[in-house]
């Protein structure tokens, strides 16, 4: 899945009524099956950018073209459907449902798409994550690293073409960071998924084939 951003702008309204520009991206692209990282300090608009690419947040203006479809022109319901079918999202805080087992969390992710819930595929993905013996465990019974791996499996359960990862190692202890990064990279390569990771850590960003400082593409940061 290719991705292209053209003149994407986003601002928020401050409590005093002033406008706070967050994003102004003239151009950014990601090729099909490419793996890239965006690196920048907190407050640089990284999470907002991922939410816009995923269609969770609408930009004020500009185009977000995903495999030829400008998702900014889709109605909200159509954007939600597009995201469910084609885009996976690994959230910084995992967002696992505490009352559901590892397997059930992955199956729930599948239910948001129009495709059928594939229990065998969910088991296979969790096996790829080294969690074959943790299928029935609740998130609270898993280590933080294991929870992150469940979140990755859930994010790719619908066979997306693009995976977005927001600070994927932020909650993981240093000894497990490389394991998580290797898993994300390998699973995307194996399943032919394009990957865009955002992080504040240059060391993590540098572990991907392409690293882009967000200040290079977001002109708001260049004038701050």
Q: Render pLDDT for 162-175 as a digit per residue (tens, 0 to 9).
A: 999 999 888 878 77
Q: Render pLDDT for 2-11 as a digit per residue (tens, 0 to 9).
A: 899 999 999 9
Low-confidence ranges of the chain (pLDDT < 70): 112-115, 223-224
Q: Render pLDDT for 68-80 as a digit per residue (tens, 0 to 9).
A: 999 999 999 999 9
In total, the chain counts a number of residues equal to 224
Beta-bridge partners for 6: 27, 63
- Closest CA relative to residue 95, chosen from 49, 154, 163: 154
What predicted TM-score, i.e. pTM, was given to this entire model? 0.90
Contact assessment for residue 150 and residue 100, using Cβ atoms and an 8 Å cutoff: no
Return the pLDDT at 224: 53
156, two tokens: 């790719």
How far lies 4's CA from each of 38, 163, 210, in Å? 14, 15, 16
| Alpha carbon distance 38, 197 (integer Å) | 6
Q: Render pLDDT for 116-130 as a digit per residue (tens, 0 to 9).
A: 788 999 999 999 999
Residue with tokens 């979140």: 151
* Structural domains in the chain, sorted by start: 3-223 (3.40.50.300)
């Amino acid at each position: 899945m290719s991705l292209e951003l053209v003149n994407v702008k986003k601002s928020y309204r401050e409590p005093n009524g002033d406008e706070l520009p967050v994003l102004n991206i003239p151009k950014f692209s990601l090729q099909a099956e490419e793996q890239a990282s965006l690196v920048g300090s907190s407050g640089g608009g990284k999470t907002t950018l991922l939410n816009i690419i995923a269609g969770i947040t609408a930009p004020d203006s500009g185009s977000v073209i995903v495999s030829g479809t400008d998702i900014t022109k889709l109605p909200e319901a159509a954007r939600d459907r597009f995201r469910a079918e084609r885009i996976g999202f690994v959230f910084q805080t995992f967002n696992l449902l505490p009352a559901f087992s590892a397997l059930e969390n992955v199956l729930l992710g599948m239910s948001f798409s129009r495709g059928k819930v594939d229990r065998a595929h969910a088991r296979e993905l969790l096996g790829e994550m080294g969690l074959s013996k943790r299928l029935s465990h609740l998130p609270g019974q898993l280590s933080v690293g294991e929870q992150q791996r469940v979140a990755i499996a859930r994010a790719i359960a619908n066979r997306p073409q693009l995976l977005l990862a927001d600070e994927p190692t932020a909650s993981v202890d240093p000894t497990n960071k490389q394991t998580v990064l290797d898993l994300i990279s390998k699973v995307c390569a194996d399943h032919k998924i394009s990957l865009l990771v955002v992080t504040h850590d240059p060391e993590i960003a540098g572990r991907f084939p392409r690293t882009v400082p967000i200040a290079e593409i977001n002109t708001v940061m260049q004038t701050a």
